[in-house]
Structure 1
């Protein structure tokens, strides 16, 4: 039941819509006549809400809640009649609103960009149930041939573009009961991610040469295996010097602090002595300035693109080292731990992997060269036996 209240002698309505509390200010002064006028409005409004015909924008065009309720009204309209002829763009906007609670902000932005740049121009006005497998294959073929306005796209990027298209069409076919066109469409083969870790000698060279204000940053990267978003979004409250632990429970992506890559990425990372000393030194530099361990002079989080462009790549060029992206610091930590004989289970937990499977799949080929565990140890055992 809606109520009429007053604030600063102006009337406002307090009511619920889609189960959410709404308080909308009016320009009416608090008089008996205006309260009666507003009561008549509320009576009509509640009738429309009950009938499912209420439109928030029509009655409160300046409301801050407008975007939220506009999406919900679209969903309601879609569910009120199973119309398989709904066009691709309209259904996608409904579906995206439904999916947002499941996704991180960076993922939402990425998927919305895919629809805007690639999918709407191709499928936007088509009825959702008229999109065929042939159309999908033609679309993917054009991405392979022409890329994005002539700029080549990797197989991985094309697969990322196709994923929300597949999810959308499967959901639409299930909801509107038509046959999904997504049948036996396999993703493009992707080359294995390039893993090019640094040697321990190269790590030492980098840390002894890097700018002083970034030495602690790269020390932590090389010896904890933290992802870029995790270290750039690392707050001081997650540093436990007493237990020598780093708590990973958030990351920063595109300037927005949010959850880590996966639920399994939340973890506790152990500090070795170098990391511990580096963080003690960093505490003197930035803790009075910012909530973030690593930050700009203004106390804001680091922008990884700026750091990579202005610090990381120039340093590698100066040292004459092969150009490698900063993610290789994570690969380096893994291979150095393996080379040192650390338990694979412990390494997996440090990296936030749910099992050791990925560890051996990705890094096994580097272990023999680093540890000399290449069969020669077993040869030495056999030397003690006379086999004729």
Structure 2
């Protein structure tokens, strides 16, 4: 994660006239913004089949035939997938990787942004490339890519055998497994789906399909002993290191840890489980009765129910509070500690907690405009584009990054003063 303490937290506003870029370039695509809000960037066309990136109005010297998916890494570097001479690579702050591939997609970053990984196709084989270095072993098929928190390992679901057209039973024998840094597990499965690394990157867990009807969780290539009707993505417990996974048996869902049920209640649906930072609580999105959704904390569902959807629970840094976005009666809002915000929106994004857990903010969409909601109240301004709000390390200020009337604005506001303009 970036070091927020190094950012400029002086109360005030910085502006960059983004709309004026259209006078300097043939066209300008949608912008992206750096985590600290100091930079705004966009793909720009600078000639016949020539594209580059512009940052705060100044273009890169390098040009490419195509550019796709520009985004800033957690450490503030500008990255994009770029094509030249029919081959694709990653460009970072204007410099392309030394190696190019037939195609690249799904860029991933280590937690601190120091490592950048992509899925890559090379001569019709697939693998992952980290900082331009491709796995030594590549595969005929690959999906569900992930990277460890420190960036030291990459993993994906891979097909290790390609059955011939007449080998109709080969699929049921198992042709899929997981590969870590290009080394495939010895075990084989009908399917391998979502993967998760442990916090230290030493272990990998995955959803697996054993037969046409049986599912389980696999950890470092070893399947759990029990078989289930279905499973969802496993995650590692932040406290004791166990593997948590939603599992379905006898028509209902429950939560298992290391192949043992740890919650007594059974639900119509359960997913997006996670443990709080200190490991003292476990929460998940659950459907306790048909068409009703909420968050369960240590197997105790909130009384507040929404009628369409609830997303993954988000813990405050101290683990004392939980928030999630949910859809109720056709509108989106935030549920915090079992209480719905009073305002509802056409769309809302993931909640963001202040470091002390006392405040929650999120970007939202209302009537085709972007807005910011803080503790359930709306900031008075409406925007043409917006990015997730960020709280200062002391929790007393908030950074709002947005485009308003063609001008990119980086605004730092004190939360005490904002109370007067929240509705």
TM-score (norm 2): 0.21
Higher relative contact order (CA 8 A, sep 6+): 1
- Higher normalized helix content (fraction of residues): 1
- Higher normalized strand content (fraction of residues): 2
TM-score (norm 1): 0.22
Bigger CA radius of gyration: 1
